[in-house]
């Protein structure tokens, strides 16, 4: 099973940016935790990308079509603004989990709107860096269940 990890804008500043909201772990530390958890789940993280560019995220989602089984994405601020990300995820049909470090539903009203939540396999928010690990575990479990269901229904 191949997983793509996508981190949106400003997440490269984790560990120093608003630590009272986002925690003290750096993005490199989160990525290392994800690699270790993936190994324990016997899945392969094909790629990890952090970018501040919406178009780079869209390009990576499109390039994943047909070669990636699932995506863990923290769209960050693009959660609340990007129809382009939504369209890319819908167009590729790749199952994905939406991740947020903070509890976006307990924050400003504009952060409570997501253009992705209704099409995600699941959403994990509010558990700091652990949100990523929970999202990875949940996505892998769902993909394994769907694979088993598909195999049982194949003639």
Distances (CA, A) of 28 to 48, 60, 93, 110, 140: 10, 20, 28, 28, 22
Known catalytic residue at 22: yes
Spacing of C-alpha 42 from chain mean position: 18
Residue 124's DSSP bridge partners are 99
Q: Going by C-beta distance under 8 Å and a sequence separation of 6 or more, which residues neighbour residue 132?
A: 5, 30, 33, 34, 72, 74, 99, 124
Known catalytic residue at 78: no
CB contact burial 132-152 (16+ within 10 A = b; e otherwise): bbbbbbbbbeebeeeeeeeee
Q: Which of 44, 78, 80, 100 is catalytic?
A: 100
Distances (CA, A) of 148 to 18, 40, 143: 42, 20, 9
Q: Which of 7, 22, 78, 115 is catalytic?
A: 22
Residues designated as active site: 22, 100
């Amino acid at each position: 099973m191949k997983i793509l990890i996508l981190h949106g804008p400003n997440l490269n500043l984790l560990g120093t940016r608003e630590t009272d909201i986002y925690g003290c772990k750096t993005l490199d530390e989160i990525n290392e935790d994800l690699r270790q958890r993936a190994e324990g789940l016997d899945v392969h993280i094909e790629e990890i990308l952090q970018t501040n560019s919406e178009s780079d995220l869209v390009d990576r989602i499109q390039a994943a079509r047909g070669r990636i089984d699932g995506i863990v994405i923290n769209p960050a601020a693009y959660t609340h603004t990007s129809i382009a990300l939504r369209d890319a995820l819908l167009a590729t049909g790749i199952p994905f989990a939406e991740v947020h470090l903070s509890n976006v539903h307990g924050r400003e009203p504009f952060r409570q709107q997501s253009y992705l939540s209704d099409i995600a396999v699941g959403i994990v928010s509010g558990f700091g860096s652990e949100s990523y690990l929970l999202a990875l575990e949940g996505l892998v479990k769902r993909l394994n269940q769907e694979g088993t269901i598909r195999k049982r229904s194949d003639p």
